[in-house]
């Protein structure tokens, strides 16, 4: 899709019913994200999410999934050694995932290499790393300073050289999202990383406007503007609006970017 300049629409899902609706709306990729710690468990961070939690949700999403690529998030502390990284990735694959996602670059390079060497595709995650929120001092835009931006570009290239197939870029300046996307042959999927990423992802509950509390600037409630007049239910229409806006490069706008 990247080589054909077709934008990639990704959404999170945690259960079978929403997975069916997300596919019906035409999303390309479904992520069983550890964001379920917030939107399903009501926790302030993703740090309490366990492998058992992730496997439970991945199993139900995989059961409903037909076409979309299915990625499962390796949770906090599940890929610290190359052995645990491979073992947990294999559990996701056995449950029906096509690819696993993990956060970081250099410090997890050994784990990434080991997973890929054993034939399991990997999605990277750079920028704001929710599993490192304590070290980062909160949920803040990353890569604003030149040194941090250069480090992120180098990390993205490292991930590509390790054989990673896709990279999520979270909460970074649009210019940096553009530079990283242009310097890689693998696709980047932005969440608060500007319009020039090769695709976009949102947490489903944010897109539907049902996540409680204050939301980041990159979130857009697509349900608020969805119409019921196409013989389809409002939720499917809201997701379709997101997919179309991504494909037509109308999301994110400057209002949802840094």
In 10 A of CB 93, how many CB atoms?
A: 18
CB 87 within 8 A of CB 118: no
Shortest distance in whole angstroms from residue 134 CB to ligand KIV: 17
CB 186 within 8 A of CB 210: no
27, 54, 203, 238: residue in contact with ligand KIV (rule CB under 6 A): 203
Shorter beta-carbon distance to ligand KIV: residue 135 or 229: 135
As a whole number of angstroms, the distance between CA 5 and CA 212 comes to: 35
Region of 27-35, 153-161, 211-219, 250-258 interacting with ligand KIV (CB under 6 A):
27-35
Is 34 one of the binding residues for ligand KIV (CB under 6 A)?
yes
First vs last Cα of the chain: how many Å apart?
25
Shortest distance in whole angstroms from residue 199 CB to ligand KIV: 11
As a whole number of angstroms, the distance between CA 243 and CA 201 comes to: 10
61, 115, 201, 239: residue in contact with ligand KIV (rule CB under 6 A): 201
Is 33 one of the binding residues for ligand KIV (CB under 6 A)?
yes
Is there a catalytic annotation at residue 160?
no
Is 70 one of the binding residues for ligand KIV (CB under 6 A)?
no
Q: Helix, strand or coil for residue 126?
A: strand
Quick one: tokens of 60?
A: 């139900």
Question: Which residue of this chain has its Cβ atom nearest to ligand KIV in the complex?
Answer: 33
Give yes or no for a cis peptide into 252 (omega within 30° of 0): yes
As a whole number of angstroms, the distance between CA 156 and CA 181 comes to: 9
Q: Helix, strand or coil for residue 155?
A: helix
Is 69 one of the binding residues for ligand KIV (CB under 6 A)?
no
Mask of contacts with ligand KIV, 162-181, x by CB under 6 A? ------x-------------
Is 11 one of the binding residues for ligand KIV (CB under 6 A)?
no
- Catalytic-labelled residue, pool 23, 170, 175, 248: 170
Residue 71's nearest CA partner among 97, 37, 43, 48 is 97
Region of 26-34, 159-167, 214-222, 237-245 interacting with ligand KIV (CB under 6 A):
26-34
Question: For binding to ligand KIV (CB under 6 A), which residues are involved?
Answer: 12, 31, 33-35, 73, 168, 191, 201, 203
Catalytic residues: 170
């Amino acid at each position: 899709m990247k080589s054909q300049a077709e934008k990639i629409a990704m959404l999170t899902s945690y259960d079978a019913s929403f997975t069916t609706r997300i596919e019906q709306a035409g999303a390309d990729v479904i992520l069983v994200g550890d964001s379920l710690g917030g939107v399903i468990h009501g926790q302030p961070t993703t740090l309490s999410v366990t492998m058992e939690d992730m496997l439970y949700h991945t199993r139900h999403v995989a059961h409903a999934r037909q076409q979309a690529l299915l990625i499962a998030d390796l949770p906090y502390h599940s890929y610290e050694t190359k052995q645990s990284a491979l073992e947990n990735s294999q559990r996701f694959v056995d449950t029906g995932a096509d690819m696993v996602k993990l956060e970081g670059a250099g410090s997890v390079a050994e784990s990434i290499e080991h997973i890929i060497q054993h034939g399991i595709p990997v999605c990277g995650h750079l920028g704001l790393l929710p599993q490192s929120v304590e070290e980062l001092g909160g949920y803040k835009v990353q890569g604003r300073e030149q040194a941090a931006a250069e480090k992120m570009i180098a990390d993205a290239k490292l991930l590509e050289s390790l054989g990673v197939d896709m990279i999520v870029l979270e909460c970074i300046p649009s210019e940096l999202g553009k530079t990283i996307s242009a310097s890689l042959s693998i696709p980047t999927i932005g969440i608060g990383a500007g319009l020039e990423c090769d695709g976009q992802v949102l947490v489903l509950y944010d897109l539907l406007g049902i996540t409680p509390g204050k939301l980041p600037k990159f979130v857009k409630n697509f349900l608020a503007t969805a119409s019921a007049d196409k013989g389809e239910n409002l939720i499917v229409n809201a997701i379709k609006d997101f997919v179309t806006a991504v494909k037509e490069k109308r999301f994110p706008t400057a209002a949802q970017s840094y």
